[in-house]
Amino acid sequence: MNILGINAYHGNASAAIVCDGRLVAAVEEERFNRVKYAAGFPAQAIRYCLEEARLTLASIHHVAVPRNPYARLGTKLFYAIRMPSFARGRVKVLSKFTGVREALARAFDIDPTKLRATFHRVEHHLAHLASAYFVSPFEDAAVLSADGLGDFASTMWGTGEGGSLRVDGSIAFPHSLGLYYTAVTQYLGFLKFGDEYKVMGLASYGQSEQLDEFRKIVRFDGCSKKNGFRLGLAYFTHHRTGPEMSWAEADKTPTLGRLYSEQMLRRLGPSRSPEEPVEARHRNLAASLQARLEEVYLGMLKKLAGATGQKSICLAGGVAFNCVANGKIFEATPFERVYVQPAAGDAGLSIGAAFYVWHQILGQPRSFVMEHAYWGPGFAKPQIQKAIDASSVRQSNYSVAELPELELVRRAAAIIAEGKILGWFQGRAEWGPRALGNRSIVADPRRPEMKDVLNKRIKHREIFRPFAPSILAENTGEWFARSDPSPFMSMAYPVRLEKRDKIPAPTHVDGTGRLQTVTREANPRYWELIRAFRDAAGVPVVLNTSFNDNEPIVCRPEEALDCFLRTQMDALVLGDFLITRT
């Protein structure tokens, strides 16, 4: 039984294929069309998933699409009357969406009537919940999804038991933790789609001096029996105008119109424009924003733990990328185990919808756990060789050597330990926005200057954004305050006080690190690399940042070579090949 999941006409368009209950392939369209957060129809992602599964469209039995136009119809109609222009925009997107069958047929140049698959609509947040729970290692768990907006809701929670999910509650438009975070992110001068994580990094540099004001921006009564929060709507505009979103076109990064109102300016002072310097006031506002998010998010999780009696929690939706808040779940709530799959945001909807159909609709039992993130395209040695031969690294300024694995990781670790910057390209590409050791840039965590060096030479990012550590899973507890697994960089834990000066480069200003715990089972070659670095440098940690320069993470060897050549990376490992500048 083959199920194709498609997240189309929404940010992070993606596709996934589930065969007999096991994930075979999953990838975002942005990796192919090279447009960050690309929306539109993910034709290339679908084509890749079919190839990887060795299937044709004709052998797909079910197509699962994570949107249900009929969800919350009453609320939608209520707002459609109040906001006619917003309603018109939504109808336009929905008309595209309901044409997924036609778009699919068009992309593969076949007659739509020849598509034999059954099409299913799965509500946005149900797909989020399914994307986390059905691939988690838990037999039963509480589940929570929180994001900006999808099918007119922002939040949903419930319980997963065996092969079924039960929804216990939800929060509808206009109340949204995601839109709250985005509105203040815009106010602080970060206007691009997906900039929230920058503000999360900035928050650690400030003091949450305006927390009381932020308690008016999001209201949450931790003592009330009902779970949920409300936005102080006077601070926002989206409930009056509708959020202005554009995500119909595949060749563009989505955009979102201004969400904060004049009241926000009156209460917090003038907003920052992107060119202005980031000052103490902005840092403190970012800290207050983050502190209030944590109060509400952790408060809701605490209530969910109480209501369900569960010790395990699965999280999804854009808010689940808040690794700083996630890292505090163990202290702030009764939950003892946390699972966040790597594409917790909207890309993950494609796997969520597909697994929802397999378990909830077809009634199949659980048989799959997502233990690693490597579900994207991989390239065999001849393809890598061809890319190298076609590139200018074959000229005299570079040396190219094919090496056996142990020699390769030993040489690569020595390069890192010398303070050089190494591109590391292996196996299948990561699913989700984090590079997890297959499309990574790796550097020495012991050097305090490494953050600036990386920024100056390759990444060109804001100085307040941290870099992440990858650590051998078995050493986690010796270096971090917690040893709970974080295989997908979804948690930030405090670095042990006595270790902070040993790994200053990926230790954030607040003493935490957004770590990736690496097991030999999940990624043997990356694990070997970190172990070789430990042998050379005495530290079981490398600094890991995504293999890109203000673009989607590289996917093909050609893109890795391009990035290597145009930046000032010192060396590149492509599969079994080590390329160095001479």
Contact residues for Fe ion, defined by CB under 5 A: 147, 150, 346
Looking at the Cβ atoms of 220 and 247, the one nearer to Fe ion is 247
Determine contact, residues 426/573, Cβ cutoff 8 Å: yes
To Fe ion, the closest distance from the beta carbon of 109 in angstroms equals 31
Looking at the Cβ atoms of 355 and 533, the one nearer to Fe ion is 355
H-helix or E-strand spanning residue 179: helix 177-187
Distances (CA, A) of 410 to 223, 347, 407, 471: 56, 36, 5, 17
Looking at the Cβ atoms of 346 and 528, the one nearer to Fe ion is 346
Residue 195 CA to its chain's centroid (Å) = 12
Rg of the chain taking only CA atoms, in angstroms:
23
To Fe ion, the closest distance from the beta carbon of 26 in angstroms equals 16
To Fe ion, the closest distance from the beta carbon of 148 in angstroms equals 7
Looking at the Cβ atoms of 125 and 508, the one nearer to Fe ion is 125
Determine contact, residues 20/59, Cβ cutoff 8 Å: no
To Fe ion, the closest distance from the beta carbon of 178 in angstroms equals 8
State how far the Cα of 317 lies from the Cα of 338, in Å rounded to an integer. Answer: 14
- DSSP code per residue over 437-457: SSEEEEE-TT-TTHHHHHIII
Determine contact, residues 213/267, Cβ cutoff 8 Å: yes
To Fe ion, the closest distance from the beta carbon of 94 in angstroms equals 16
State how far the Cα of 280 lies from the Cα of 362, in Å rounded to an integer. Answer: 54
Looking at the Cβ atoms of 150 and 242, the one nearer to Fe ion is 150
Name the DSSP class of 358. Answer: I
Question: Which amino acid is present at 321?
Answer: F
To Fe ion, the closest distance from the beta carbon of 348 in angstroms equals 8
- The interaxial angle of helices 280-308 and 177-187, nearest 10 deg, is 180
Q: b/e map of 427-458 (b: 16 or more CB within 10 Å)?
A: bbbbbbbbbbbbbbbbbbbbbeebbebbbeeb
State how far the Cα of 355 lies from the Cα of 22, in Å rounded to an integer. Answer: 9
Looking at the Cβ atoms of 5 and 150, the one nearer to Fe ion is 150
**Nearest CA among 565, 533, 559, 535 for reference residue 546:** 559
Determine contact, residues 258/182, Cβ cutoff 8 Å: no
Q: How many CA atoms lie within 13 A of 141 on its CB side?
A: 24
Looking at the Cβ atoms of 4 and 316, the one nearer to Fe ion is 316
To Fe ion, the closest distance from the beta carbon of 383 in angstroms equals 34
To Fe ion, the closest distance from the beta carbon of 105 in angstroms equals 26
- Three-state secondary-structure class, residue 53: coil
Alpha helices (H) in 463-556, listed in sequence order:
476-479, 524-537
To Fe ion, the closest distance from the beta carbon of 353 in angstroms equals 12
Residue nearest to Fe ion (CB): 147
Looking at the Cβ atoms of 149 and 518, the one nearer to Fe ion is 149
Looking at the Cβ atoms of 124 and 198, the one nearer to Fe ion is 124
Looking at the Cβ atoms of 348 and 423, the one nearer to Fe ion is 348
To Fe ion, the closest distance from the beta carbon of 282 in angstroms equals 27
